[in-house]
Amino acid sequence: MEFLRPTTWAEALAAKADQPEAVPIQGGTDVMVEINFDVHRPPALLDLNQVAPLRDWSVDEGGYRIGAGVSYTRIIDELGEAMPGLAQASRTVGSPQIRNRGTVGGNLGAASPAGDSHPPLLAGDAVVEVESRDRGVRLIPAHEFYLGVKRSALEPDELIKAIRVPAARGPQYFSKVGTRNAMVIAVCSFAIALYPEERRVGTGIGSAAPTPRRALEAEAFLADEADWHAPLDEAVLRRFGELCSGAASPIDDVRGTADYRRHAVGVMARRTLGWAWNDYLGRRAA
């Protein structure tokens, strides 16, 4: 197996353009597992760890730009206030060792429907910045990035450069159901983001459909029905949960049944909306 070690972004893009079959490796917490278990033996690995800009994040008036190689630990420690939903999801990933190595870039590269970063990226209006040597930069909204089980909009000659995440404009929450409390792949998960100025919510459902997805009908329902000056009506909360549940199209597998997943998505949607709404009203009153 060839081991390519570019030291600049331009070299990395050139290597991917010349050898599209080369598999990028950042934290390696997915790639190395697949190689160790012989799931996949790529002809070449493209190690991105020497490409320093991938490990940077920055902020401007458009929001945050997180390099694809920024670890979960750093998102939790350095960006927790700006993007609480993504930070909460990051806290649930694996163990401290996995969070030190693993990255959101790698989560996107793997595009597993169970990846924990996807629901908050969807709810938080994130955009994935990808680039190829021959066609330059493409900005792909998170909701257009996921195409199927472990399939994304990334072309074979493209690399993920960064994730653009607007600073939270209201409360955000992430919730995950697992078969135990830590080191667990989601049975299903849910993220919510409130945008009080726009009177809308963003949602993200994880591990309950072939791809991570938003609950669009539930978002539209809340935009129409919620009274942003008062506690949420029980009936509105319940209907929101039902619509989120209906947006899922889960399967039965070793981690859980489709019925359970549909039910749990509804419960998480209701709960996270309730928590977020309480925070929102609390902040207004303060």
* The residue to which tokens 């939903």 are assigned: 85
Q: Which is nearer to ligand FAD, 92 or 245 (CB)?
A: 92
Q: Which of residues 149-188 bind ligand FAD (CB under 6 A)?
A: 159-160, 183, 185
Q: Distance between CA atoms of 241 and 234, rounded to whole angstroms? A: 11
Can you tell me whether residue 171 is helix, strand or coil?
Answer: coil
Instruction: Verify binding: residue 6, ligand FAD, rule CB under 6 A.
Output: no
**Alpha carbon of 72 to those of 47, 56, 91, 106: distances in Å?**
19, 13, 8, 11
Minimum CB–partner distance for residue 155 and ligand FAD (Å)? 10
Helix (H) / strand (E) element for 105: namely: helix 104-110
Q: Of 15, 66, 70, 93, which one interacts with ligand FAD (CB under 6 A)?
A: 93
Q: Of 13, 29, 203, 247, which one interacts with ligand FAD (CB under 6 A)?
A: 29
Helix (H) / strand (E) element for 130: namely: strand 127-132
Which sign does the torsion angle of CA 54, 56, 58, 64 carry?
positive
Minimum CB–partner distance for residue 38 and ligand FAD (Å)? 15
Instruction: Verify binding: residue 48, ligand FAD, rule CB under 6 A.
Output: yes
Instruction: Verify binding: residue 110, ligand FAD, rule CB under 6 A.
Output: yes
Distance of CA 205 to the CA centre of its chain: 10
Instruction: Verify binding: residue 98, ligand FAD, rule CB under 6 A.
Output: yes
Binding site for ligand FAD (CB under 6 A): 23-31, 33, 48, 68, 92-94, 98, 101-103, 105-107, 109-110, 115-116, 159-160, 183, 185
